[in-house]
């Protein structure tokens, strides 16, 4: 049995450095306008410009409803995960019995096992709040869509300004939804901590690399940004 080791501490710090560093890179880094989120955001504004000229906007609301349902699904799933993890609190002894049969793992004190569980629970709670807020923002976006005036000769500026604000609001919802998905990935990486600190750091590195490739070098990005 062991307490928190230097390896655990290093892995824990490395996790936060990796995810916060990647978050800073995607939002403020030199390639912040060259990722898939930025490309999709441009398409959102184009969508809203097109929406202004549609007299019947049911298709726009259906698209937004589908996006909203995705956020609701991930938010509810995050709560289910948190509940399942909470149900395993205090089962450190049974977990240690399983670890004894897995190579490269060490048994751990029950309170440390519970601390790791709570840590992962917090990660998925963050994901819940991200998706829940994204869900609310899509609701507000639908209201803004409904309030969009029809384009006429005397309200061109008003329509363009409104379409821009709707696009920005939809983009904010997309930003929180994307952040929630990232948090899911980070929660999966954190599960590696139950094995050992090396696996935790390796899983964190792998997750960040996967996210980087998909956001900056994926085929989806090339398709979206090709004009």
Position 97 scores a pLDDT of 67
Position 61 scores a pLDDT of 87
User: Number of folded domains in the chain?
Assistant: 1
Reduced 3-state DSSP string for 48-61: HHHHHCCCCCHHHH
Task: Report yes or no on 112 lying in a domain.
Answer: yes
Task: Report yes or no on 1 lying in a domain.
Answer: no
Q: What is the pLDDT along the chain (227 residues), one digit of tens a residue?
A: 445 678 888 999 999 999 999 999 998 988 888 899 999 999 999 999 999 888 788 888 898 998 899 999 999 999 999 999 998 887 766 766 666 666 666 666 777 888 889 999 999 999 999 999 999 999 999 999 988 888 887 788 898 899 999 999 999 999 999 999 999 999 999 999 888 889 999 999 999 999 999 999 999 999 998 86
Position 167 scores a pLDDT of 94
Position 1 scores a pLDDT of 44
Question: Which tokens belong to 179?
Answer: 């952040």
Burial class (CB in 10 A: 0-12, 13-18, 19+), 56: exposed
Q: 16 in helix, strand or coil?
A: helix
Position 7 scores a pLDDT of 85
Of 90, 133, 150, whose CA–CA distance to 115 is shortest?
90
User: Other C-beta atoms within 10 Å of 115: how many?
Assistant: 14
Task: Report yes or no on 78 lying in a domain.
Answer: yes
Task: Report yes or no on 158 lying in a domain.
Answer: yes
Residue span of the structural domain in which 192 resides: 6-225
Question: Which tokens belong to 203?
Answer: 């899983």
Task: Report yes or no on 169 lying in a domain.
Answer: yes
The answer to pTM > 0.85 is yes
Of 43, 45, 71, 47, whose CA–CA distance to 57 is shortest?
47
Position 157 scores a pLDDT of 87
């Amino acid at each position: 049995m062991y307490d928190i080791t230097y390896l655990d501490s290093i892995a824990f710090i490395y996790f936060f450095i990796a995810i916060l560093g990647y978050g800073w890179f995607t939002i403020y880094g030199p390639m912040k306008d060259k990722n898939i989120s930025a490309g999709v955001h441009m398409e959102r504004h184009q969508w809203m410009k097109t929406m202004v000229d549609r007299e019947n906007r049911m298709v726009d609301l259906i698209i937004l409803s589908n996006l909203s349902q995705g956020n609701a699904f991930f938010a509810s799933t995050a709560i289910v995960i948190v509940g399942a993890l909470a149900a395993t609190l205090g089962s450190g002894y049974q977990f240690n019995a399983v670890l004894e049969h897995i190579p490269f793992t060490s048994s751990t004190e029950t309170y440390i096992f519970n601390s790791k569980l709570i840590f992962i629970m917090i990660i998925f709670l963050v994901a819940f709040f991200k998706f829940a807020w994204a869900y609310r923002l899509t609701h507000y976006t639908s209201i803004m869509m409904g309030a969009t005036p029809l384009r006429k000769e005397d309200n061109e500026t008003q329509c363009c300004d409104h379409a821009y604000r709707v696009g920005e609001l939809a983009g904010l919802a997309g930003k929180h939804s994307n952040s929630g998905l990232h948090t899911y990935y980070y929660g999966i990486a954190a599960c590696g901590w139950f094995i050992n600190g090396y696996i935790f750091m390796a899983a964190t590195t792998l997750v960040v690399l996967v996210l980087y490739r998909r956001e900056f070098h994926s085929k989806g990005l090339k398709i979206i940004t090709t004009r």
